[in-house]
Amino acid sequence: MFSSTITIINSLGLVLFIFLVFQHFGKSTGSRSKFIERISSLEESPSENQKVIDELSQNIDAEFKFVNKEIRKLGISAIKEIEKNITANLNSIKGIQNKLTEFAKSMKL
């Protein structure tokens, strides 16, 4: 009778042990899969970051080209305006010279 009680207790202990082992295995598998997911997301992050960096670089290059083009346009228009002012000033100087020569001629008479 004693040995059968020990056998039953051992059987219950073995069943409980097997249950605990499988339960622990299930938890460790879940944690392994979470670990693998975290590692894979970390591996994907640099490639996604590189894509964002590439897109930003392309946008910056396009904006830089646009700004350079606008600066050139402004420079050209400023040069044209300066040339017009120089021409107007030269014409004014010629007019003043003509008036001075006429004045000088009238003073000699």
pLDDT, tens only, 7-34: 888 888 888 888 777 776 666 566 667 7
Neighbour-count burial of 66, counting CB atoms closer than 10 A to its CB (0-12 exposed, 13-18 middle, 19+ buried)? exposed
Structure confidence at residue 84 as a pLDDT band (50, 70, 90): very high
Looking at residue 20, what is its pLDDT? 78
- Ranges of beta strands (E only) in 4-100 are none
**Nearest residue to 83 via CA among 72, 71, 75:** 75
Rounded Cα distance, 63 and 58, in Å: 9
Residue 76 has pLDDT above 80, yes or no: yes
